[in-house]
Each structure stands twice: as structure tokens, then as C-alpha cells.
């Protein structure tokens, strides 16, 4: 399979379902009701101080959680105890030509491991993380240790 080919799932494990109403100035709800959030434009994009979240915050939360799980998965498979792993995702939206695009910076804090071992773990996790696979070649993703 070439790197441009879409990933085809061999076995489906879980499907999340959420519905957004009114885009960046509305609500997003999951089908099971556990997620029910106001979506508001950030102040930097013309929004007000109205309480709520935005798609970039939701993407940052999902990517950081998923990447942290990928780090733990790789560590277990390599029989490494990384200790507490903290992943902070910075998701930036900006102009690309006539439209918009995203850039991501993932900052990992893995204080228990030597720097070279932690960096190798991050590199391996980037190969197995579903978010990393989905974004590879599509958006800029920078991964580094804190």
C-alpha cells in the first residue's frame, strides 16, 4: 500500500457518533449524550467571551489523548515503564490560499525516561497513533519533548 492510499480498517472496534448544529456557533452532541457542548468561535477569530469550546480545542483534546495512548501502547510492547506521560497538543488554524488549514505541535513530558529513549518512544508512537496516521502528509505535525 502506498502512503497516499487510504487506511482500510480490517476490524472495526468502535464508532463515535456526534452531530454538530450551526457549525462554529452552535452545539455538538454525541449520540449517547455524554458530550453536549456549546461551540463558539474563539476571540482571535472574531468570537465573543461567550462560554464554549471550538473545533480546534476538541481536536487538540482528542489528539493528545490518542497520542498518549499510543505512547503507552508502544512502551508496553517494548517492556518499558515510561511513568506518567503528559501530552499537550497545540492546534493552530490559519490561512492556506483561499481556505484554512491546521498545524499541530505535540509536546510530550516523559520525565522518567532518558531523553534519547523518550524521543525514540515518541517516534514509534507517531507511527501507530490513529490521529498521526490520519494527519500524515496532510498537515504539519511537530512532535517534541518538553
CATH of the domain at 23: 2.20.25.10
User: If 0-12 CB within 10 Å is exposed, 13-18 middle and 19+ buried, where does residue 107 land?
Assistant: middle
Dist CA 146 CA 142 (whole Å): 12
Residue 49 is predicted with a pLDDT of 86
Dist CA 126 CA 145 (whole Å): 13
Same domain, 60 and 102: yes
Using alpha carbons only, give the angle 35, 33, 67 rounded to the nearest 5 degrees. 35
Residue 48 is predicted with a pLDDT of 86
Same domain, 94 and 78: yes
Residue 2 is predicted with a pLDDT of 41
Same domain, 95 and 29: no
Residue-wise DSSP of 60-94: HHHHHHHHHHHHHHHHHHTT----S-EEEEEEEEE
Residue 4 is predicted with a pLDDT of 59
Residue 102 structural domain: 54-145
Cβ pair 121, 145 in contact under 8 A: no
Same domain, 37 and 71: no
Q: Which residues of the chain have pLDDT under 50?
A: 1-2
Same domain, 60 and 119: yes
Amino acid at each position: 500500500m502506498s502512503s497516499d492510499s487510504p487506511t482500510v480498517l480490517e476490524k472495526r472496534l468502535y464508532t463515535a457518533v456526534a452531530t454538530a448544529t450551526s457549525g462554529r456557533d452552535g452545539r455538538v452532541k454525541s449520540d449517547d449524550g455524554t458530550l453536549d457542548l456549546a461551540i463558539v468561535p474563539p476571540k482571535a477569530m472574531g468570537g465573543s467571551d461567550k462560554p464554549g469550546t471550538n473545533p480546534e480545542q476538541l481536536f487538540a483534546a482528542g489528539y493528545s489523548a490518542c497520542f498518549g495512548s499510543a505512547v503507552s501502547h508502544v512502551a508496553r510492547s517494548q517492556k518499558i515503564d515510561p511513568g506518567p506521560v503528559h501530552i499537550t497538543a497545540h492546534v493552530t488554524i490559519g490561512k492556506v490560499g483561499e481556505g484554512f488549514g491546521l498545524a499541530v505541535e505535540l509536546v510530550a513530558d516523559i520525565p522518567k525516561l532518558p531523553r534519547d529513549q523518550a524521543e525514540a518512544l515518541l517516534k514509534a508512537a507517531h507511527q501507530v497513533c490513529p490521529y498521526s496516521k490520519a494527519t500524515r502528509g496532510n498537515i504539519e505535525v511537530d512532535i517534541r519533548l518538553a
